[in-house]
Amino acid sequence: MKPLLPPVFVNGIEISAERIAAEAQNHPAPKEKPGLAWKAAARALAIRELMLQEARARGLTPDPAEVAPGQVETEDEALIRQLCAVAITPSDVSDAALHAHYIAHPDRFRAPSLYEAAHILFPRQDDMAGQRALALAVLAELRAHPRRFPDMAREYSACSSKENGGLLGQLTAGDTVPEFEAALDALEEGQISDPVETRFGLHLIRLDARARGDVLPFEVVLPRLRDAHAKAEWARAAAQFTRDLLMSATIDGVRLQAA
């Protein structure tokens, strides 16, 4: 009988179905599509085998390193690390090129904005349709009578800020959940949002003031730019190296795209 999960062959070297099944535990997939985990595992092991074959072809000798106290690489892990060190050569990025990128995208390098805001929280519960209807009714009242916001906060909000009329004080990036922060960015000063849903429930948000962060000096962001571009260049070079290995390999049992 033909096995349900066939082995994979990489340049004639077999990767057994048992090894692939064990590796598949490390590749999450929807319950209704377990074959996706098997394919991902087969691809990962095939690429690993290709890299080990290339390391041996280059005459590399494994030199395991300590990666954590009391934890040493296996010989295969050492070979792959050593191969990457000699075969993957990312391009250097000059500070002049990084400066050009900085000049072209100044908004990416701003200090965090500061906000002053207030909100009314309608907490998450089983009947969120009812909560949304209530939030919309309160919003309609606020649109007609904006000065009632403190009173409506005291009456309806489930947040402790209701004691201060919903005032949250000064906020900066990361102080709130992403959906709340996105709403703050989208509002004009004095504007009240439509209901904004977060894991806490529904919020009516009023933006009272915004102080946009200044663009940070190039010298301040340069170390971060160097690090980010070095990582990006290494990833690009590693992907190209893997593609080159795939293009020259004979692999049976799983489809690996070289592009």
CA nearest neighbour of 115 among 31, 222, 190: 190
Q: Tell me, yes or no, whether 63 lies in a domain.
A: no
Query: Can you state the percent helix, strand and coil of the chain, rounding each to 5?
Result: 50, 20, 30
**Which backbone phi and psi does 223 adopt, to 5 degrees?**
-60, -40
pTM above 0.85, yes or no: no
Kindly state the greatest CA–CA separation across the chain. 79
Check: CB of residue 246 under 8 Å from CB of residue 50: yes
Question: Two tokens at 186?
Answer: 């989208």
What is the predicted pLDDT for the residue at 2?
A: 45
Instruction: Give the C-alpha separation, 162 to 184, whole Å.
Output: 19
Q: Tell me, yes or no, whether 188 lies in a domain.
A: yes
What is the predicted pLDDT for the residue at 174?
A: 84
What is the predicted pLDDT for the residue at 102?
A: 95
**Per the structure, how many domains does the chain have?**
1
Domain that residue 158 falls in: 112-211
Q: Tell me, yes or no, whether 48 lies in a domain.
A: no
Q: Tell me, yes or no, whether 135 lies in a domain.
A: yes
Q: Tell me, yes or no, whether 199 lies in a domain.
A: yes
DSSP H or E run through 18: helix 17-23
Q: Which residue has the tokens 């209701």?
A: 162
Instruction: Give the C-alpha separation, 123 to 161, whole Å.
Output: 14
CATH number of the domain within which 153 lies: 3.10.50.40
CB atoms within 10 A of CB 83: 20
Q: Tell me, yes or no, whether 71 lies in a domain.
A: no
Residues paired with residue 122 on neighbouring β-strands, in sequence order: 202
Q: Which residues of the chain have pLDDT under 50?
A: 1-3, 259
CA nearest neighbour of 156 among 175, 185, 131: 131
For residue 199, what is the DSSP state?
T
CA angle 88, 89, 94 (to 5 degrees): 150
* Cα→Cα distances 102→95, 225, 226, 232, 235, Å: 10, 9, 11, 16, 21
DSSP H or E run through 226: helix 218-247
Instruction: Give the C-alpha separation, 179 to 157, whole Å.
Output: 18
Q: Give the 3-state secondary structure of residue 209.
A: strand
Q: Tell me, yes or no, whether 92 lies in a domain.
A: no
